[in-house]
Amino acid sequence: MGLNGMPRALITGVTGQDGAYLSKLLLDKGYEVFGLLRRSSSSDVLDERLRWLGILGRVRMMDGNLIDLSSLIRILNEVRPDEVYNLGAQSFVKTSWNQPLLTGQVTALGANNLLEAVRLVAPGARFYQASSSEMYGLIQEPVQSEKTPFYPRSPYAVAKLYAHWMTVNYRESFGLHASSGILFNHESPLRGIEFVTRKVTDGAARIKLGLAKELQMGNLDAKRDWGHARDYVEAMWLMLQQEKPDDYVVATGRTVTVRDMVRIAFEHVGLNYEEFVKVDEAFLRPAEVDVLLGDPSKAKEKLGWAPTTTLEEMIREMVEADLFRHRARMR
Ligand code: NDP
Ligand code: GDR
């Protein structure tokens, strides 16, 4: 709690998509928001995200890095947060095969560093771990819930699984109020350009405006359960408001192929995707997660959470945002 009685939150990964939406949610709820900012962060991207949400200048940035335990201890000592959200990660699955050790250091051991710092410095703080549906990987169940066994298929997913179980372990061993959200894919106009939805909405916008002729893509047959980041950060916050820490699946309960998502985006700008989308092997992965479909019943029942945005609405919002960005640059 700050001197003025406002609750305090510390967010790692504040420069990312979810960090921006979560900052907005917490600021709107009257929190003081602190963000972990690593030296190499691109402040332009962060500024664009925060400006987009109307909160530029309202998050206090703290100089640190998840792989430097000393920085986390110093920051927790300074901030004394009531809530800690660990969203920082090497989060791009494809890169994790090229940089498996870095992915492990940040995504797995970084989470452990933060748990350890919380245990030592702020054991009363509530902790959120950004776990992922990628942990299911080669699933054997058609719909994935909190009870579905994990089978990670990428260095990223293996790292997330370590962080997930360490969160459970710190809860059970040390009594930390530590919760994991097993979040399925969630997107927005603030999604990083390397992820498939944003790549597609940006590509459709460019082609529509005559800035590009085609779009190179990978596996169009993969299926994902896509929701909106604005809805999903609400679930993170709700988890930390519960008396008892726990793990929750956050998903929409609907799965769609990449191809259908592409079709929705191109149709919105009046184009037939088949004329513009080309498959390029460079975008295929060494191992694929073919299909993900989450069962959010527990989050609905215990948190009162439900998604509010359909895939179609979200993709249209993203295409419009990309058209707006490109038109502004063309002026
Ligand atoms: P982003 O890729 O947009 O953001 C990742 C964040 O992690 C960035 O702020 C990045 O900072 C930060 N980061 C990277 N390395 C370090 C480091 N060494 N120390 C501190 N911070 C670091 O991810 P999203 O916002 O989409 O996702 C948030 C979290 O949720 C991630 O952990 C992701 O793996 C997880 N997740 C995401 C899902 C999704 O669909 N979006 C689904 C399930 C889980 P910088 O700007 O400096 O690079
Ligand atoms: P994912 O998201 O790997 O599920 O991880 P991404 O958007 O990268 O891929 C989704 C699916 O689309 C297929 N695909 C392509 N992907 C990309 N990026 N680029 C392409 O050109 C392309 N063509 C087809 C992929 O093969 C895959 O099947 C995201 C991240 O946010 C993780 O951090 C998070 O944990 C999971 O979602 C849940």
- Ligand 1 mean position, distance from CA 272 (Å): 33
Interface predicted TM-score (ipTM) over 0.95: yes
pTM check: above 0.95:
yes
17 CA closest ligand 1 atom index = 25
- The domain ranges of the chain are 8-186+227-250, 192-224+254-291+309-330
Residues flanking ligand 2, CB < 6 Å: 91, 93, 132-134, 184-185, 194-196, 199, 217-219, 222, 224, 258, 283, 285, 288
Per-residue pLDDT reduced to its tens digit, 168-216 = 999 999 999 999 999 999 999 999 999 999 999 999 999 999 999 999 9
How much is the pLDDT for 4?
A: 78
User: Three-class SS string for the chain?
Assistant: CCCCCCCEEEEECCCCHHHHHHHHHHHHCCCEEEEEECCCCCHHHHHHHHHHCCCCCCCEEEECCCCCHHHHHHHHHHHCCCEEEECCCCCCCCHHHHCHHHHHHHHHHHHHHHHHHHHHHCCCCEEEEEEEHHHCCCCCCCCECCCCCCCCCCHHHHHHHHHHHHHHHHHHHHCCEEEEEEECCEECCCCCCCCHHHHHHHHHHHHHCCCCCCEEECCCCCEECCEEHHHHHHHHHHHHCCCCCCEEEECCCCCEEHHHHHHHHHHHCCCCHHHCEEECHHHCCCCCCCECCECCHHHHHHHCCCCCCCHHHHHHHHHHHHHHHHHHHHC
Asked if domains 8-186+227-250 and 192-224+254-291+309-330 share a fold, the reply is: no
Per-residue pLDDT reduced to its tens digit, 138-167 = 977 999 999 999 999 999 999 999 999 999
- Ligand 1 mean position, distance from CA 16 (Å): 5
CATH code of the domain made up of 192-224+254-291+309-330: 3.90.25.10
In the predicted model, is pLDDT for residue 41 greater than 80? no
CATH code of the domain made up of 8-186+227-250: 3.40.50.720
Residue nearest (by alpha carbon) to ligand 2 atom 27: 222
